[in-house]
């Protein structure tokens, strides 16, 4: 099956002055570890890396081991734009696709396989975990407006998987209507198309700030020893 990896961010929250996916994590780039897990999945047959043209040579160099097994697609100014480019550049035979953020380098290959399997029965699936904290909705002055029932709250992760025809349509509609979202499932929700949740792992964190790098380093060291 086909899998797209958005890797075209700037990493501003990491404050590293470069694409965070190129940062060193236990001797390799963050993106290297993501790809290592992806290629351990039994179901992945095609991988597209969505990156900024100015990062291309450094990215390809950092994932040398896998570079002949991946295709390059130019990214956009937002994650949404990057994924739209990715979906529009999938091979013609792609019917279903998984999107997995390059920044989630602790992904377990088994979770990728589970998403693919669930995608055989469903048109749209996402990996997510139950929310542990009590979540507050606030107004612009940070005064609490409400506390949603935690039993119905899940934190969305990737992989997220979709029918290619529907995902293309959703991104096209988003462009026409100027919808601005942070994951692909949100587009399906806006269109009232059902999306099924698959219980993921709390270790499948998105590397965002320097503390996440330290956590990922510990996890990788443990899994290697």
Using CB under 6 A as the criterion, which residues of the chain lie in contact with ligand C5P when the complex forms?
6-9, 21, 50, 75-79, 82, 101-103, 206, 208
Token pair recorded at residue 52: 């900024």
Q: Looking at beta carbons only, is 41 or 80 nearer to ligand C5P? A: 80
User: For ligand C5P, which is the closer residue by CB, 7 or 185?
Assistant: 7
Beta bridge partners of 126: 160, 197
Residue 14 CB contacts under 8 Å (≥ 6 apart), including other chains: 20, 23, 207, 208, 209, 210, 213
112 neighbors 43 (Cβ within 8 angstroms):
yes
Task: Report the nearest approach of ligand C5P to the CB of residue 220 (Å).
Answer: 17
- Which residue, 122 or 181, has its beta carbon nearer to ligand C5P? 181
User: Closest approach of Cβ 189 to ligand C5P, in Å?
Assistant: 18
Burial zone of 91 (CB within 10 Å; 0-12 exposed, 13-18 middle, 19+ buried)? exposed
CB 45 within 8 A of CB 78: no
Question: Cβ closer to ligand C5P: 1 or 31?
Answer: 31
- Alpha-carbon Rg for the chain, nearest whole angstrom, is 17
User: Minimum CB separation from ligand C5P for residue 200, in Å?
Assistant: 16
Q: What is the 3-state secondary structure (H, E, C) of 71-123?
A: EEEECCCCHHHHHHHHHHCCCCCCCEEEECCCCCCCCCHHHHHHHHHHHHHCC
Nearer to ligand C5P, 82 or 160 (CB): 82
Considering the complex, what minimum distance in angstroms separates the CB of residue 89 from ligand C5P? 13
The nearest distance, CB 183 to ligand C5P, in angstroms, is 9
Smaller CB separation from ligand C5P, 9 or 48: 9
Rounded distance, CA 78 to CA 184, Å? Answer: 12
What's the min distance (Å) between Cβ of 212 and ligand C5P? 10
């Amino acid at each position: 099956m086909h899998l797209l990896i958005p890797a075209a961010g700037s990493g501003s929250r990491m404050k590293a002055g470069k694409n965070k996916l190129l940062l060193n994590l236990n001797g390799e780039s963050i993106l290297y570890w993501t790809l290592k897990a992806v290629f351990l999945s039994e179901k992945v047959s095609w991988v597209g890396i969505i990156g900024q043209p100015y990062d291309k040579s450094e990215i390809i160099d950092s994932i040398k081991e896998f570079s002949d097994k991946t295709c390059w697609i130019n990214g956009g100014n937002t994650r949404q734009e990057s994924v739209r480019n990715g979906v529009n550049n999938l091979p013609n035979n792609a019917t279903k696709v998984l999107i997995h953020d390059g920044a989630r380098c602790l992904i377990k290959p088994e979770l990728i396989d589970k998403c693919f399997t669930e995608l055989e029965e469903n048109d749209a699936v996402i990996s997510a975990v139950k929310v542990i904290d009590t979540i507050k909705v606030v107004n612009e002055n940070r005064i609490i407006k409400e506390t949603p029932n935690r039993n119905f709250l899940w934190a969305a992760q990737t992989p997220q998987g979709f029918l290619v025809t529907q995902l293309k349509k959703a991104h096209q509609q988003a462009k026409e209507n100027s919808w601005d979202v942070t994951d692909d499932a949100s587009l399906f929700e806006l269109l009232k198309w059902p999306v099924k949740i698959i219980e993921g792992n709390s270790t499948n964190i998105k590397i965002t700030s320097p503390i996440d790098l330290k956590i990922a380093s510990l996890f990788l060291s443990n899994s290697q020893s």
